[in-house]
Amino acid sequence: MKHESIFTSESVTPGHPDKLCDQISDAAVDAFLQQDAEARIDVECAVSTGVLFIAARFAARASVDVPALARDTIAGVGYSGDSFDARSCSILTSLVQLADAQRHEAARDGGEAAQEQVNAFGFACDETPALMPLPIWLAHKLSRALAAARSGDVDWLQPDGKTQVAVAYKAGRPRRVHAITLTAATSDRPPRAAVVEEAMRELVVAHAFRDELLKPDRDTEININPGGPYLIGGPSKHSGLTGRKTGIDTYGEYARQSGAALSGKDPSRIDRIGAYAARFAAKNIVASGLADACEVHLAYSIGSAKPISVWVNTYDSGRIPDEDIKERLLKAVDFRPGAIERRFDLRQRAARSGDAGFFRQLAVYGQVGRLDLELPWEQTTVAKALAEG
């Protein structure tokens, strides 16, 4: 992005059907790990008008009422009306218990083997306090504000919503907020469009940008439900599927993201924890001062523990050559699956997470770049070592 350009990222609220599926999938992962910290579990969901389908395969010493857990999650998001109701929606399940397989298989190159072939990507840049790209950072803030607005006098707002932010860049740096779009589901008898727009501007846009240095200006285009009234929303309007919002989960498509779903997988899955490890690496490189922006690519092969390749790209912003940064990174971080699990302590974090869950909180507003959660892959514990070489 060396020339003047505009980049756009989107986010969605917890009531978006795709994110509803992610939350149910991750709530199930948490529930199994809370009963058996060594559980292996994969969960996928699909939702549409009046029906939810859950497919789970697990090896665990646990007994989880998956349909009841799903209904609790649906109710917590806010679906208790005629269009989609946590109490009355049909829930179909395919729950398969596998033979007990509590540990990784040993890899031929030492350590615990990757069970998938994976390209994992991590990214960081110095545009925000969380070292995230500004468009997705702002889109998430708007989604949080939109979800929070569903209280008090704004009882006509429904759980489903989408936000979009376009940021204008010049010479590779964000210069202004070019456009903002909010799509907010309302009741089937919403107030006048002018009332909806005023509420969204005051309760969502103004709130989200209150502490931002770069704010909307007089030329910023602000669109509220530009497609017309969006009545009810949710599964009665469009279907949902676990893992369909990987751009929202990561970098808002500003940088490459791993192709596989992140939600619904326990910490043995390298396609999930590899993405966290790559983010950890990229963030620590930027935090060390070695680069203004960085992408880290980890490639894994089934049966091997060590990545078959590690690639560092600083987009010509590095203080030293990218190859030298990679060598420092490989000395500081062990990228084998078992080592990643131990560094991040993911099983015990989920086991101790209580009602809020650990993985469920990642299912909305991004799985990286979170300052509201104490995530181990967001820590900069190896930045000093990287800087010193």
- Domain presence at residue 341: yes
Q: How many domains does the chain have?
A: 2
> pLDDT 10s digit of each residue in the chain, 389 long?
456 899 999 999 999 999 999 999 999 999 999 999 999 999 999 999 999 999 999 999 999 999 999 999 999 999 998 789 999 999 999 999 998 654 445 555 557 889 899 999 999 999 999 999 999 999 999 999 999 999 777 999 999 999 999 999 999 999 999 999 999 999 999 999 999 999 999 999 999 999 999 999 999 999 999 999 999 999 999 999 999 999 999 999 999 998 899 999 999 999 999 999 999 999 999 999 999 999 999 999 999 999 999 999 999 999 999 999 999 999 999 999 999 999 999 999 999 999 999 999 999 999 999 999 999 999 999 999 999 98
pLDDT at residue 110, as a whole number: 58
Q: How far apart are CA 191 and CA 195, in angstroms?
A: 6
Contact between 63 and 299 under an 8 Å Cβ cutoff? The reply is no
pLDDT at residue 42, as a whole number: 97
pLDDT at residue 124, as a whole number: 98
- If one counts every other C-beta atom within 10 angstroms of the C-beta of residue 156, the result is 17
Contact between 314 and 294 under an 8 Å Cβ cutoff? The reply is yes
Residue 272 domain boundaries: 118-127+267-388
Q: How far apart are CA 299 and CA 309, in angstroms?
A: 5
- Domain presence at residue 196: yes
pLDDT at residue 102, as a whole number: 46
- Domain presence at residue 177: yes
**Tokens 């070695």 -> residue:** 290
Termini Cα distance of the chain? 29
pLDDT at residue 36, as a whole number: 97
- Domain presence at residue 57: no
pLDDT at residue 82, as a whole number: 78
- Domain presence at residue 291: yes
Q: What 3-state class would DSSP assign to 311?
A: strand
Query: Bridge partners of 95?
Result: 56
- Domain presence at residue 156: yes
Residues 215 and 363 in one domain: no
Contact between 121 and 316 under an 8 Å Cβ cutoff? The reply is no
pLDDT at residue 151, as a whole number: 78
Contact between 91 and 97 under an 8 Å Cβ cutoff? The reply is no
pLDDT at residue 259, as a whole number: 84
- Domain presence at residue 186: yes
Question: CA geometry: angle at 343 spanning 297 and 61, to 5°?
Answer: 110
Residues 373 and 275 in one domain: yes
Q: How far apart are CA 245 and CA 258, in angstroms?
A: 11
